[in-house]
Amino acid sequence: MKLSHIIEKINCDLLTEPGPDPEITSCLASDMMSDVLAFSVPGALLITGLVNSQSVRTADVADAAAILYVRGKLPDEKTIELAGELDIPLLATQMTMFDVCGMLHCEGFEGAC
């Protein structure tokens, strides 16, 4: 499923400049970046409440297609700039991680692990 479809379904905000519309293969929800590294698959959407630069660096190593920040949390400008440099789209929503995962599961997504 294209990232633009997820943005539309969840009604989230795009925090980085739009680029290519990546294909999202699966979802991985965690605030523990060690779990993201252990269970990630390329092209996954990382759903997290961890808004520091470590989330972007982890997404880069894990080859995640995008990051969705939940619970109304927003990264600082330095983190947004890093994501732009690494071409990782950043999204944000007021929804909880549980609700986002439920909505995406109803859309047919499988978990990454």
pTM: 0.94
In a domain, 111, yes or no: no
**What CATH number corresponds to the domain at position 32?**
3.40.1390.20
Average pLDDT over residues 25-31: 93
Residue 32: how many other CB atoms lie within 10 Å:
11
In a domain, 66, yes or no: yes
Per-residue model confidence as pLDDT tens digits over 40-88: 899 999 999 999 999 999 999 999 999 999 999 999 999 999 999 999 9
| Sheet architecture: strand order including 90-92 | 13-14, 90-92, 66-69, 44-48, 26-29
Which pLDDT band holds residue 20 (cuts at 50, 70, 90)? confident
Number of domains in the chain: 1
In a domain, 64, yes or no: yes
Q: Give me the domain span that covers residue 16.
A: 3-106
Which pLDDT band holds residue 113 (cuts at 50, 70, 90)? low
pLDDT value of position 18: 76
3-state helix, strand, coil in the chain (%, to 5): 40, 20, 40
Q: What is the largest CA-CA distance in the chain?
A: 34
In a domain, 112, yes or no: no
